Structure 1
């Protein structure tokens, strides 16, 4: 095993073609590790948007077909001399499980699933409930390391997006916003229903993101010009600054980066009380409501908008405690966890060899 400060060969695996929260975390972690001098590779799907977001110091390996991905990941990790193979999201972790030549790490961006994560040598949990809920009989190590909100690149930040101007809003109109993939887990259908039923007539809802539920959401929004589906945006940080209220209507969330980005932008936050937000927003100046109830969400939204309307625009900014989500600290702790897993794995191999020798004797 390399000495404590010798550069490692690290292989990240993520199979998504689009960039959402888990993919963004993988990209930023790989870029940060490469900037520290480690040899970093990312294995993904050929043509994935992930490749274009990686720094020049990170090498991307695109797999053209999904066939035998586990075997191919294992072979490539072995060829690259990987010290660590780190999977992001379930299918990637399932493939990483076959890379036995390296220490196998998985990040629980969603949650623990035995068929994806049981064979990992180490698991990174993104909230305390995940960590405390892991099976007691797991052989591998686990560590609680919070995600962070990656900084956007300088070119995007320089765009200085003003979403209110883009949408043609007047000063008296309040803008409700949400960011996320358009799929059932994110609850965008609940958000649209809640907004249409309870938001004031001059409020506007902007949803940033793409996904399989777009057509359904367009049907739900039909006839209501207040609901705007803006698709994928690379200027999320800038767009968030235009929101008067950020809403997460998710049915399940382990660690929503969009909420952390809204906190960084100083936006008031209303969220369903899923696993991640319950921990992230505990003791913070934010509001939680029950999961899966569009009427309850809508009433809470109306109350928050009424409260915000009584404030001047400059008074709507919120300050959050975000020290726990520091990027540098999280990257350092992740590298430290890699070392712990490598040591634990090496010790296990030595014990196995000692037992084999004892049996042979």
Structure 2
């Protein structure tokens, strides 16, 4: 396999119909690679929200049915002449494993699962714990941290004011969270802890949508302090309105929402899941045990008491974020592609030499 000349033909695969953390990372990576002059394609589900978020230089290919996705991805990647086929989230990585003649890459947005990732050529780990726990003989791996995606210029132009929208007085503190309404994200723990321990004048806003929405609305049970706001495109502006950002997840490899909160200078309170343990080490943030609604609620109440006497300017937090630089991460991802391609080319040459030696007797 000879190494391809620049620019590369890159095919990303993500099958989600809606946009959450892993999808946003895929979109921003594809857009950044296209801006650098590479030929970039994204394969996804037809009518996916991903298509509209891609830059004009990225071509989207929608698959109308989930049947035989691995075979169809392989055929499309071959037709496009893909040098690299990069899967995002488990089902996409499983499909990418069917590809031939391309470097098969997967990003561990959640974690390693053999049935999704064992047949890939390269694995992008989003934290060191992932890399250190990979099974022996696994694919070439590299730790490349995620980054906060570029701000949505259209949303910023609308100048939304979440505090005014919620009817808050200047004295009220707003606790906020952003994430999919799914058990893994722990929004039920956040609601339970907030209801039990937060002061009467505090407000909780949760941005996101997902399968647990009806259950969470039942938990709110008419508590006027808690607002489920659904999907919003103005996440950055909403973060600026939060006095405290909370990540209540039960599992989290590398939460983009925490990075965005850090970029906005918001105080961060998070459960001590795998990603935040590494991201927030040495940072001015607070960690609490995973899966403990009471500990989470008590920590929220304590943080509100700490923040209340401070003015808005004094509540701004400065974080060390150089490790999560977008340009550096994009460059390292492209470098990893080349490492995998070189490894494949070296192996192919070794097999070729061995065959010639056998023929020569």
CA distance, structure 2, for counterparts of residue 263 and residue 141 of structure 1: 31
Q: Which aligned pairs between 1:250-329 and structure 2 lie closer than 5 A?
A: 250-329=249-328
For residue 106 of structure 2, what is the aligned residue in structure 1? Answer: 106
For residue 338 of structure 1, what is the aligned residue in structure 2? Answer: 337
For residue 173 of structure 1, what is the aligned residue in structure 2? Answer: 172
Q: Secondary structure at the match of 1:241?
A: helix
For residue 70 of structure 1, what is the aligned residue in structure 2? Answer: 70
CA distance, structure 2, for counterparts of residue 233 and residue 211 of structure 1: 13
Q: Secondary structure at the match of 1:62?
A: strand
Computed over aligned residues only, the root mean square deviation of the Cα atoms, in angstroms, reads 0.9
For residue 123 of structure 1, what is the aligned residue in structure 2? Answer: 123
Check the 8 A contact 1:2/1:8 in 2, yes or no: no
How big is the shift at 1:350?
A: 1.4
How big is the shift at 1:2?
A: 4.4
For residue 8 of structure 2, what is the aligned residue in structure 1? Answer: 8
Check the 8 A contact 2:4/2:83 in 1, yes or no: no
Q: Does 1:249 align with 2:248?
A: yes
For residue 142 of structure 1, what is the aligned residue in structure 2? Answer: 141
CA distance, structure 1, for counterparts of residue 116 and residue 357 of structure 2: 34
CA distance, structure 2, for counterparts of residue 168 and residue 83 of structure 1: 53
Q: Secondary structure at the match of 1:60?
A: strand
Q: Secondary structure at the match of 2:241?
A: coil
| Unaligned segments of structure 2, at least 5 residues | none
> TM (normalized to structure 1)?
0.98
Check the 8 A contact 2:152/2:234 in 1, yes or no: no
Q: Does 1:354 align with 2:353?
A: yes
CA distance, structure 1, for counterparts of residue 52 and residue 127 of structure 2: 29
Q: Secondary structure at the match of 2:51?
A: helix
For residue 197 of structure 2, what is the aligned residue in structure 1? Answer: 198
Check the 8 A contact 2:3/2:342 in 1, yes or no: no
- Superposed CA deviations along residues 292-347 of structure 1, whole A, max 9, x for unmatched, are 00001001111000000121122100000000000000000000110010000111
- Superposed CA deviations along residues 191-225 of structure 1, whole A, max 9, x for unmatched, are 00000000000000000000000000000001201
Q: How many pairs were matched up?
A: 359
Q: Secondary structure at the match of 2:41?
A: strand
Check the 8 A contact 1:74/1:101 in 2, yes or no: no
Check the 8 A contact 1:105/1:121 in 2, yes or no: yes
How big is the shift at 1:162?
A: 1.3
- Superposed CA deviations along residues 108-128 of structure 1, whole A, max 9, x for unmatched, are 000000110111111000001
Q: Secondary structure at the match of 1:348?
A: helix
CA distance, structure 2, for counterparts of residue 290 and residue 352 of structure 1: 51
For residue 37 of structure 1, what is the aligned residue in structure 2? Answer: 37
How big is the shift at 1:79?
A: 0.4
CA distance, structure 2, for counterparts of residue 355 and residue 191 of structure 1: 60
For residue 97 of structure 1, what is the aligned residue in structure 2? Answer: 97
Check the 8 A contact 2:268/2:286 in 1, yes or no: yes
How big is the shift at 1:354?
A: 2.1
| Unaligned segments of structure 1, at least 5 residues | none
- Superposed CA deviations along residues 213-271 of structure 1, whole A, max 9, x for unmatched, are 00000000012011100000000001000000000000000000000000000000000
How big is the shift at 1:160?
A: 1.9
For residue 154 of structure 2, what is the aligned residue in structure 1? Answer: 155
CA distance, structure 1, for counterparts of residue 204 and residue 98 of structure 2: 45
For residue 85 of structure 1, what is the aligned residue in structure 2? Answer: 85
Check the 8 A contact 1:77/1:101 in 2, yes or no: no
How big is the shift at 1:45?
A: 0.1
Check the 8 A contact 1:246/1:269 in 2, yes or no: yes
> TM (normalized to structure 2)?
0.98
CA distance, structure 1, for counterparts of residue 48 and residue 208 of structure 2: 17
CA distance, structure 2, for counterparts of residue 12 and residue 223 of structure 1: 43
